[in-house]
């Protein structure tokens, strides 16, 4: 294995690069295209991306975090960062469309090298979870030290059962006390093959987490995937952005295929820190603490003679009777019920929703915007009732069409509303009528969230 001798700068900066471009279809109906699983609070009070950020701070400073995400999620990712004290300015790298992990990582590398001569990068999916943070930090320190000397490091998870839903990494010669050279990457196996891998002892689940020097991975991209490197290097604009048509033309390729399976610098750090990719309702159930009946219950739940079930409620009461090994997930517009073993097949349901033109695959009843949220409360053919939340200091442009009118009822907060040259303040208990063909600028001038209900009616006789 060839590792560059180079000058091994022991003062290299360490950067955390979070990949937050997934859509999380296997956790529908909670995870949606417009609000994917990395933004969801499955465990505790933090979203998955917030949990990942907090997990990394003991090793990597807040200023040295970068998150690569899709255009649709840019503002929510920023908000989730700032809500837990991470400065988001110039920290979120926006992909105009998804092109897999290799382009996302290369884009981040090139952005970081604009301001750094070199750096050690840790690459982490934003939507994975880890139980033993102390052991994770120990393994991360090992990986960063190996990366600093020129290795391309991946974290291999020691398998505790023959999982067929993950790819595997086969380790070979021992590089150090904590690392093996990589013999090969293998695709998701069948059950028998997975059993053989577990028995062999030198096969590990592919976690999708990596560490390497920016200069080293950049050179590997140049040598091993020159088409991707040349295209990417030529399309990044002066402000760091990339045009949609240019990014769409990049190869759709993972970092495994593009670099890791071809390089002679790859090593794997065997790890056992309670990792899960939360890739299905079953994997989330396996990760969480169970009650005395083997259940995970979250929400307003009455469970009678119910065992080994995962029941997740939103706003409605869920009552179960004589159930075993089931997943029940309720959201305001959808309910998913499945046996535990086959719950990952929800991905096929999402495909069916897309084919039928249903919006439930894409959005919740609550839609998220840079300025706040809109929640659909009720809809008929000629009317629509919504709850609107506007963040402090934000402005919402509210419009009516040629045949629609709106009535706004203010519930909490303070608003300053500009109608042409006129500006009026509104508070809790005030009402406002919006006639047809009107645009109002509604600014939240208070220090708390502004909330109002709007009822839109359509004149169908025109």
Structure tokens at 64: 């040295």
pLDDT, residue 58, reads: 79
Strand 326-330 vs strand 310-312: parallel, antiparallel, or unpaired? parallel
**What percentage of the chain has pLDDT greater than the value 90?**
89
Q: Counting every residue, how long is the chain?
A: 462
Q: Domains in the chain, start-ordered, CATH in brackets? A: 14-276 (3.90.550.10), 281-355 (no CATH), 366-458 (2.60.120.10)
In the structure encoding, which two tokens stand for residue 224, read together? 């091993």
Q: What is the pLDDT of residues 413-435, one digit of tens each?
A: 999 999 988 999 999 999 999 99
**Bridge partners (DSSP) listed for residue 270:** 156
Return d(Cα 262, Cα 1) in angstroms, integer.
12
Q: Say if CB 125 and CB 44 are below 8 A apart.
A: no
For residues 63-79, give the mean pLDDT: 95
pLDDT digits (tens, 9 = 90+) for 345-380: 999 999 999 999 999 999 999 999 999 999 999 999
pLDDT tens figures, 172-230? 999 999 999 999 999 999 999 999 999 999 999 999 999 999 999 999 999 999 999 99
Whether the Cβ atoms of residue 83 and residue 54 lie closer than 8 Å to each other: no
- Please state the separation of Cα 459 from the chain's center in Å: 41
């Amino acid at each position: 294995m060839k590792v560059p001798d180079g000058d091994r700068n022991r003062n290299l900066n360490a950067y955390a690069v979070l990949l937050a471009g997934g859509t999380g279809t296997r956790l529908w109906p909670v995870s949606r295209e417009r609000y994917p699983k990395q933004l969801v609070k499955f465990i505790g009070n933090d979203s998955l991306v917030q949990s990942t950020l907090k997990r990394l701070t003991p090793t990597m400073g807040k200023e040295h975090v970068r998150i690569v995400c899709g255009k649709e999620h840019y503002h929510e990712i920023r908000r989730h960062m700032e809500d837990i004290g991470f400065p988001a300015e110039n920290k979120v790298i926006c992909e105009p469309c998804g092109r897999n992990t290799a382009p996302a990582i290369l884009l981040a590398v090139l952005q970081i090298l604009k301001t750094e001569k070199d750096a050690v990068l840790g690459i982490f999916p934003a939507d994975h979870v880890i139980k033993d943070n102390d052991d994770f930090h120990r393994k991360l320190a090992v990986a960063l030290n190996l990366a600093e000397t020129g290795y391309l490091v991946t974290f291999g998870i020691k398998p505790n059962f023959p999982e067929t839903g993950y790819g595997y990494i086969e380790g070979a010669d021992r590089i150090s006390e904590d690392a093996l050279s990589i013999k090969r990457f293998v695709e998701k196996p069948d059950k028998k093959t997975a059993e053989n891998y577990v028995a062999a002892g030198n096969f590990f689940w592919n976690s999708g987490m990596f560490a390497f020097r920016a200069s080293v991975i950049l050179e590997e991209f140049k040598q091993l995937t020159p088409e991707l490197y040349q295209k990417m290097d030529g399309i990044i604009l002066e402000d760091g952005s990339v045009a949609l048509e240019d990014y769409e033309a990049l190869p759709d390729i993972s970092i495994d295929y593009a670099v890791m399976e071809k390089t002679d610098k790859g090593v794997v750090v065997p790890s056992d820190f309670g990792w899960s990719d939360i890739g299905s309702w079953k994997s989330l159930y396996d990760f969480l603490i169970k009650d005395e009946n083997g259940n995970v219950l979250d929400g307003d739940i009455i469970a009678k003679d119910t065992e080994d079930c995962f029941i997740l409620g939103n706003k409605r009461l869920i009552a179960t009777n004589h159930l075993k090994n089931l997943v029940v997930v309720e959201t305001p517009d959808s309910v998913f019920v499945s046996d535990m073993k086959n719950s990952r097949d929800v991905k096929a349901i999402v495909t069916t929703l897309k084919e039928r033109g249903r919006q439930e695959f894409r959005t919740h009843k609550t839609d998220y915007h840079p300025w706040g949220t809109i929640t659909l409360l009720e809809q008929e053919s000629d009317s629509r009732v919504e709850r609107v939340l506007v963040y402090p200091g934000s402005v919402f442009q509210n419009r009516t069409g040629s045949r629609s009118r709106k009535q706004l009822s203010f519930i909490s907060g303070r608003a300053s509303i500009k109608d042409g040259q006129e500006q009026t303040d509104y508070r809790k208990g005030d009402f406002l009528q919006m006639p047809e063909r009107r645009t109002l600028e509604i600014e939240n001038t208070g220090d708390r969230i502004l909330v109002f209900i709007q009822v839109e009616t359509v004149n169908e006789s025109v």
